[in-house]
Amino acid sequence: MSPSNENVISFLPLGAIIREFCVAGYNIVQGFSTQDQYIKYNTPYFGATIGRTANRIKDATVKDLNGRTYTFAKNNGPNLLHGGYQGWDKKIFEGPTPVNRNGREGLLFKYVSKDGEEGYPGTVEVRVWYTTSKEQVETAIEKIVLGIEYEVEFIGNECEETVVNVTNHSYFNLSGGPTIEGTEAQLCTDKYLPVDSNGIPEDKVQQFKRTDVTKPFVLHPTEPDIDDCFVMDEDPSQVPLDTRSRPLRLLAQFKHPSSGLHLEVHSTEPAFQFYTGKGIDVPAVEGLPARGPGSGFCVEPSRFINAPNQPEWKHMTLLKKGQIYGSKIEYRAWKEPWNE
């Protein structure tokens, strides 16, 4: 990343992707230059809207939905991952349409997901609002705030219910270099969902013990190797289908001592997947360098893994006729002025 004096945020209709998030001229998200490059090379899901269901669904199957069992693509071992082979990350959204959302200038992207797409029942419309603003922290420090609001409405008459779990899959890099080496991370919870060898929760919420994540710890390209779902709400019964009425909560914060870049991730969601990027493998692409292990990290606010198949979690992903699913994410980033 080469710095300039600009704060630029840009998007693409493909997957309503966040293509650039520039802070003091540093683009802190991984991505590509053109939409065609995303279509050809975006196996890590750089910047994309993930749906109809984010994360993994056990055995690519959802039971007891509309009184039957639905089977989906097994695109991650025995499981369904991130909505299937042609999830929302690969769909062309309508937009961007300029809007004023909650008093902020923004852009709206929309997509209609038809009944039967990737095996999901019911026709739904997903709406994604991006808003940008600035927040003064200190006299010489200004945070760039990128807000995301998701809304999914059941608009079809084909059945009575479907399942939804939406997130953004941006990979962040605050180092100014090819990897996240030296980034200081701190999560706001050490509660997580232990998973089996296929990435499916095998037990109740436990304490994460491999690293003390609630105190500052340093990221390296391959260590610590974290790809886990951390839990903000230990009582799933209190999680509504539309979380937007809840206050935004800080999930995680990051900074890099050399670049002076900071990032906070806030959301209304009950959980988030934290991934340190060990599996990234993108070849050099038309003037862009190769991206390998640790070239970025993800914080993916969402519902619990495999929630549609867990009776005590199912309600947070079960969208019925006349209902609306909703959530909010907010990224706040800034650069220390003495690091110019």
Structure tokens at 42: 């975006």
Angstrom CA distances, 78 to 75, 93, 198, stand at 7, 29, 8
Known catalytic membership, residue 262: no
Strand partners, 22: 27
State which amino acid sits at residue 20. E
> Which residue type occupies 284?
A
Contact 229, 272 (CB under 8 A): yes
For residues 117 and 126, is the Cβ–Cβ distance under 8 A?
Answer: no
- Can you tell me the distance from the alpha carbon of 150 to that of 108, in angstroms, rounded to the nearest whole number? 10
Burial of residue 302 (number of CB atoms within 10 Å: 0-12, 13-18, 19+): buried
Alpha carbon separation from 291 to 19, 90, 145, 218 (Å, rounded):
15, 20, 26, 20
- The answer to whether 333 and 259 have CB atoms below 8 angstroms apart is no
Catalytic pick among 82, 169, 262, 266: 169
Q: Which residues are catalytic?
A: 169
